[in-house]
Amino acid sequence: MRRNRGEQGVRKNGTYKCKSKRLKKLHCTSIFAVVAAMGRMHSRGKGISASALPYKRTPPGWLKISSQDVGENICKFAKKGLTPSQIGVILRDSHGIAQVKSVTGSKILRILKAHGLAPEIPEDLYHLIKKAVSIRKHLERNRKDKDSKFRLILVESRIHRLARYYKKTKKLPPVWKYESTTASTLVA
């Protein structure tokens, strides 16, 4: 007996075929694999990959370093000019500290703020400004690059949106404003 074309069913390779227009493009190994994920702002990606944090929030038993030593290490790295995320990577890879919060009780940025070593501009905003400056520099040399011009508009709109959030949460002063002419001095 032959099935109708529009009927749902399991293919030979184990994936499902269905009538739903939304699910038509997906080739799932099971029906339950379809998960709604937040989309990216300026691209089509809907990636849901993320690191899984351990359930236990206490430091591991084999870790012999004290919370005070971790705080001193964080301050030492910050004085060298490293960003909070770079400090976290070094502590994870070289010192075996997976989560600073589980050892010290507070995050890297809070420790830096307590010692007066926190960056003036939040790290994510800093990197967006740095990207905008490099695109602008590229556009000075390549004036006909329309795609870069479009990407610059997207990056700068993200900068304005993030700056608005940081002003609202009082992480940036209310008079702070991004200007493309003075942006290179912010990231220099």
pLDDT per residue as tens digits for the range 23-78: 555 555 544 455 567 788 888 888 888 888 888 888 888 999 999 999 999 999 99
Q: What is the rounded CA–CA span in Å between residue 161 and residue 155?
A: 10
**How many CB atoms lie under 10 A from the CB of residue 81?**
8
- Please state the φ and ψ torsions of residue 102, each to the nearest 5 degrees: -70, -25
Q: What is the rounded CA–CA span in Å between residue 145 and residue 177?
A: 27
In DSSP terms, which residues pair with 10 in a beta bridge?
16
User: Would you say domain 123-187 falls under CATH 1.10.287.10?
Assistant: yes
Does the pLDDT of residue 188 top 80, yes or no? no
Tell me which of 87 and 1 has the higher pLDDT: 87
Confidence of residue 10 (pLDDT cuts 50, 70, 90): low
